[in-house]
Amino acid sequence: MGILSGKKGIITGALDENSIAWKVAELAHQEGASIVLTNAPIAMRMGEIKKLAEKIHAPIIPADATNLEDIEKLYKESIQHFGGKIDFILHSIGMSVNIRKNIPYTELNYEYYMKGIDVSALSLHKMLAVAYKADALNEYGSVVALSYIGAQRTYPFYTDMADIKALLESIARSWGYHYGIAKKVRVNTVSQSPTKTTAGSGIKGFNEFFDFADMQSPLGNASADDCAGICVALFSDFTRKVTMQNIYHDGGYSTTGVSQKQLDALMK
Ligand SMILES: NC(=O)c1ccc[n+]([C@@H]2O[C@H](COP(=O)([O-])OP(=O)(O)OC[C@H]3O[C@@H](n4cnc5c(N)ncnc54)[C@H](O)[C@@H]3O)[C@@H](O)[C@H]2O)c1
């Protein structure tokens, strides 16, 4: 359809082809956008991002999203590459050392907790603050960050990421206000179903929970490909007045109390 025709965007977080960001980059490219890919320098070595870059003709600009200088450089080089300002940004960055190390909520390590906050939530604040200061985004530019319903409801396995996603969503709202007033820039979060990616699968019991959520959702879990669709829609001009929202993209999971499928499974 070409709904992003002529638009220029930065996509963070594409690590391998399971990454949600990978699917968003592919669809945004298909819809006519020019893209710059970025990820933490360490991910360049582990990941397969170069394959994606070749496929969608995008340069890769490494940047640690917790580092202000890296972010400044990312915008400067992106604007040079595009020959103009940026229309959209996908924030697709999440990491909890406490989850990786399987540490329960009641025993969280605070150093890891702070690291998780910096990488997974403050990085959005920093990316917006640097863009605001450098006036890097076009009017009606659109910034989307990926979240999870653990921000609103308790999931024991989600430990510190629950608190961190709540902060991420609040940062999106606050920036949505300030950047909206100043430049009409939109900021939203998409609250995505459990998705089989490196970050997702690091959570203990993830596969069982994935099936549980799928049973609860009238439409089934939303896949990474589905998530690309909502992100691209939010980058497009068809959603110019959508801002400061947390959009549940979960096949109906969040508003279903219990499904018959779940009850049948328990009654077996
Ligand atoms: N997978 C799920 O079940 C699920 C569900 C809802 C929301 N999300 C969110 O989607 C987003 C993307 O995760 P994913 O599931 O595609 O997993 P993923 O592991 O493919 O992506 C996470 C990315 O974050 C990047 N990253 C980590 N530290 C960074 C840093 N300091 N600077 C820059 N980048 C850094 C990683 O290199 C990686 O590319 C995350 O915010 C995650 O919390 C995932």
CATH no. for residue 103?
3.40.50.720
146 part of a folded domain: yes
Q: 62 is in which domain, residue-wise?
A: 8-204+221-255
Domains in the chain, number: 1
Residues 242-259 pLDDT 10s: 999 999 999 999 999 999
265 part of a folded domain: no
Residues 6+ apart with CB under 8 A from 266: none
73 part of a folded domain: yes
Q: What's the CA-to-centroid distance between 13 and ligand 1, angstroms? A: 6
Among 20, 161, 250, which is best to mutate for testing ligand 1, by the most ligand atoms less than 8 A from CB?
A: 20
Residues 203-219 pLDDT 10s: 878 889 999 999 999 99
Asked whether 68 and 123 are in contact (CB, 8 A), the reply is no
184 part of a folded domain: yes
What is the largest distance, in Å, between two alpha-carbon atoms of the chain? Answer: 62
Among 19, 122, 217, which is best to mutate for testing ligand 1, by the most ligand atoms less than 8 A from CB?
A: 19
CA dihedral (104, 109, 113, 115) positive or negative: negative
Residues 108-161 pLDDT 10s: 999 999 999 999 999 999 999 999 999 999 999 999 999 999 999 999 999 999
pLDDT given for residue 239 in this prediction: 98
The residue ranking higher by pLDDT, 147 or 201, is 147
Query: Considering only CA atoms, which residue is closest to atom 36 of ligand 1?
Result: 13
Cα(88)–Cα(127) distance, integer angstroms? 12
pTM listed for this prediction: 0.98
User: Is there an atom of ligand 1 within 6 Å of 150 CB?
Assistant: no
Query: Considering only CA atoms, which residue is closest to atom 12 of ligand 1?
Result: 92
Asked whether 40 and 62 are in contact (CB, 8 A), the reply is yes
39 part of a folded domain: yes
49 part of a folded domain: yes
211 part of a folded domain: no
263 part of a folded domain: no
Query: Considering only CA atoms, which residue is closest to atom 26 of ligand 1?
Result: 93
Cα(250)–Cα(215) distance, integer angstroms? 12
